[in-house]
Amino acid sequence: MDRLNGEKCRLRIRVAGIVQGVGFRPFVHGLASSLSLVGIVGNNHAGVFIEVEGSAGALEEFLGRLERDAPALAVIEHIEAEQIAPVGEDGFVIVPSQSGGERQTLVSPDTATCDDCLRELFDLADRRFRYPFINCTNCGPRFTIIRDVPYDRPFTTMAGFTMCEACEREYRNPQDRRFHAQPVCCPACGPSLRLLARDGTPIRGDPIDAAAGLLTAGKVVAVKGLGGYHLAVIATSEAAAAALRSRKHREDKPFAVMVRDVDTARALCDVGAEEERVLSTPRRPVVLLRRKPGAQVAPSVAPGNRYLGLILPYTPLHHLLADRLGTPFVLTSGNSSDEPIAYLDDDALERLGHIADAFLTHDRPIHMRTDDSVTRVVGNRERILRRSRGFAPEPAVLPAPLRRPVLACGAELKNTFCVAKDRRAFVSHHIGDLENYETLRAFRQGIEHFTRLFDVHPEVVAHDLHPEYLSTKYAMELVDLDTVAVQHHHAHVAACLAENGETGPVIGVAFDGLGLGTDGSMWGGEFLIADLVSFERVGHLQQLPMPGGAAAVKEPWRMAAVYLDAAFEGQPPSGLGVARSHENLWEQVLRVAHHGTNSPMTSSAGRLFDAIGAIVGVRGRVNYEGQAAVELEQLADPTETSTYRIALDGAEPFRLPGVDLVRAVVGDLQRGTDPRVVAARFHNGLGDAVVEACARVRGSTGLTSVALSGGVFQNVLFTARVSAGLGREGFRVLAHSRFPPNDGGISLGQAVVAGARDDAGML
């Protein structure tokens, strides 16, 4: 630029968003250099700071392209620019990170190996040929290796690896695609792979080849991934899959399967255009896909399931393994039954030693344990069922700024927590069911990590109404903070509002397993008028006793007994299969229910699905919560359009009599109707009743928007019926997409309710 030609200006620019660890500084350097601008760029607590100097025209061009041409993984929330006095330095340089100040920076999620790195991985001439830790500014580990911010190598688990000269050159060269890539490494200086026997002794030979050999021979191999250890077996071997299932004490929950590419996915499942996109995103979730008849997968991989969870390789190690194996393989979390996934090497050897025959492991430590995320595509849109690796810790932007920072502790099952300040809510990765010491420890450590990483000092803590949830007990320990108890189903609806950027009021339909209500009974089939501050319960499913409490969740036949008893006033038709299968305890359970001993009243929709599942003959006992409901959906014939009628009563709050559905189901079964048709009509009947109930609420309130939340809305058939019906009736439907409808979304809902009440001066 000609210095004599026009005046020189200097801008100080701040960029906020996900701008660290995504190649933003090199991008700025390149952009500034190409426009012959001088100045500096660096990371600080708030994101990226820039000073640029040059002609007004070049600066304008710079600002425009800063946003337009930003790197693929960057998420720019806002850019601030102010004019300052020119300095007149010689060139444009990247300066060291500034520490201190209130942290506002964001951390990028872990990102699947990019195409450029993949090409090098399989390029014989490349110095990283077949190196399992290849990465660049556009891909690789992020959230799982960050110990602290700013995102610089000393604050990651790569701190212990000193770069070799060649790597250092790439790292320092602004023209290189590894410029300032923090995890950059190579075979000479980086982590290395090892294959260990279950007793920890090394197995000779190339670790990938040897591991592939063991897998092909039907062995179980533990594989260290980004967020923890997985357990792998060949997906075509029934003996191997069954062995893994029994050693893991996992009876029926389906295993995820890794396939090397989309074509292989197509051989096993139907893959639509949106499903292909979701499978291939750098976030790389497990995607639930409809399996093709005759798909070459052993029965024990996903017993009795119409869907398969498929995932594409997301680390170089996965790519190498998939390439050597040439066949799909199970890749399921490295844990025993309900414990959290193992992520520390010694702990993994100890805990998985009785499951895995060998360990494919390495010496790059994992700092934050994260499971794979699980999504599916419904209505041409991705719907998250479990939000974890690849998504966390990307924040949700709140509809309104918070007055004070909030910690929300979430629910008990599928727990996540959430820390929030200003307009950002950081919902944690999936923590798990808070039922054991290990998971509780992961929960506590996670909260510590998030509050430090995002510099949130909570002044308000939100929790569920249920006093026995370990998350509630944790909140109660924080005696210095203002506490907010948020009713479970209000939190569900608030989460749906928040993710849609709305504040209500809406008609909230919260259908799930169980959550404690304000009247002390267990809710779960709720119609609320809700905004972020408060709610009114305007209707619900008819209440019935849950004989034996928790036992009724594990044994859906108990709910069948209670529903049949109520539907037929103690005289259900004889010869029903479910009654015959459980006749020895049937009367006793009904006596317990009538008596009310250990039989909390519930309006749960999940329990109604359970009861119908047991009556139709799906199963009387379950191995995981909601299994009967999942299988009832699988059974249902999706082409069946006829329905059962439910009569709403005139009470306030109104009641939806589930017994109407039970009578219709029994009637059809006795006429010999195909159970697949009966299951479908039940879905349609309950869905139609929800639509009718919403129409009634609209009649008395004028509200025309409906928010759908709760675990039952993971049921595609039911959700489709409800959404279509509401649409036909002219309602606007708010649903979940980026956060789960199940209890994994509760912490987000709690956070926004706490924030709204704080803002309203209610604390």
Binding site for Fe ion (CB under 5 A): 512, 515, 743
Determine the interface stretch with Zn ion among 189-197, 305-313, 486-494, 707-715 (rule: CB under 5 A).
189-197
Listed in sequence order, the DSSP H helices in 122-255 are 165-172, 207-216, 238-248
Q: What, of Fe ion, Zn ion, none, does residue 512 touch, CB below 5 to 8 Å by kind?
A: Fe ion
Q: Return the DSSP state at 500.
A: T
C-beta atoms surrounding 100 within 10 Å: 7
Measured distance CA(44)–CA(97) in Å, rounded: 6
Q: What one-letter code names the amino acid at 128?
A: R
Whichever of 372 and 743 has its CB closer to Fe ion, that residue is: 743
Q: Which of 31, 66, 114, 567 binds Zn ion (CB under 5 A)?
A: 114
Measured distance CA(308)–CA(262) in Å, rounded: 14
Q: What, of Zn ion, Fe ion, none, does residue 186 touch, CB below 5 to 8 Å by kind?
A: Zn ion
Determine the interface stretch with Zn ion among 78-86, 132-140, 267-275, 682-690 (rule: CB under 5 A).
132-140
Give me the least distance between CB of 706 and Fe ion, in Å please. Answer: 18
Contact between 117 and Zn ion per CB under 5 A: yes
Give me the least distance between CB of 229 and Zn ion, in Å please. Answer: 23
Nearest to 609 by CA among 619, 601, 599, 600: 619
Q: Return the DSSP state at 136.
A: B
Measured distance CA(222)–CA(203) in Å, rounded: 14
Whichever of 382 and 625 has its CB closer to Fe ion, that residue is: 625
Note whether 107 and 142 are within 8 A (CB): yes
Buried b / exposed e over 52-72, threshold 16 CB at 10 Å, is: bbbbeebbebbbeebeeebbe
Q: Which of 16, 48, 186, 226 binds Zn ion (CB under 5 A)?
A: 186
Whichever of 225 and 524 has its CB closer to Fe ion, that residue is: 524
Contact between 72 and Zn ion per CB under 5 A: no
Whichever of 79 and 117 has its CB closer to Zn ion, that residue is: 117
Whichever of 161 and 443 has its CB closer to Zn ion, that residue is: 161
With CB under 5 A as the rule, give the number of residues binding Zn ion: 10
Query: How open is the CA angle 279-381-505, to the nearest 5 degrees?
Result: 140
Q: What, of Fe ion, Zn ion, none, does residue 390 touch, CB below 5 to 8 Å by kind?
A: none
Give me the least distance between CB of 167 and Zn ion, in Å please. Answer: 3
C-beta atoms surrounding 256 within 10 Å: 23
DSSP secondary structure letters along 246-268: HHHT--SPPPEEE-SSHHHHHHH
Closest-approach residue to Fe ion (CB): 512
**CB neighbour class for 248 (10 Å; exposed up to 12, middle 13-18, buried from 19):** buried
Q: What, of Zn ion, Fe ion, none, does residue 743 touch, CB below 5 to 8 Å by kind?
A: Fe ion
Nearest to 365 by CA among 208, 133, 631: 133
Buried b / exposed e over 646-673, threshold 16 CB at 10 Å, is: bebeeeeeebbbbbbbbbbbbebbeeee
Whichever of 71 and 353 has its CB closer to Zn ion, that residue is: 71
Contact between 576 and Zn ion per CB under 5 A: no
Whichever of 275 and 512 has its CB closer to Fe ion, that residue is: 512
Whichever of 189 and 601 has its CB closer to Fe ion, that residue is: 601
Q: What mask of x and - would describe binding to Zn ion in positions 600 to 619, judged by CB under 5 A?
A: --------------------
Give me the least distance between CB of 354 and Zn ion, in Å please. Answer: 37
Contact between 136 and Zn ion per CB under 5 A: yes
Contact between 491 and Zn ion per CB under 5 A: no
Q: Which of 72, 87, 95, 188 binds Zn ion (CB under 5 A)?
A: 188
Contact residues for 456 (Cβ-Cβ < 8 A; gap 6+):
405, 407, 419, 420, 421, 426, 450
Q: Which of 149, 167, 220, 678 binds Zn ion (CB under 5 A)?
A: 167
Q: What, of Zn ion, Fe ion, none, does residue 167 touch, CB below 5 to 8 Å by kind?
A: Zn ion
Measured distance CA(675)–CA(743) in Å, rounded: 30
Give me the least distance between CB of 209 and Zn ion, in Å please. Answer: 23
Q: Which residues bind Zn ion (CB under 5 A)?
A: 114, 117, 136, 138-139, 164, 167, 186, 188-189
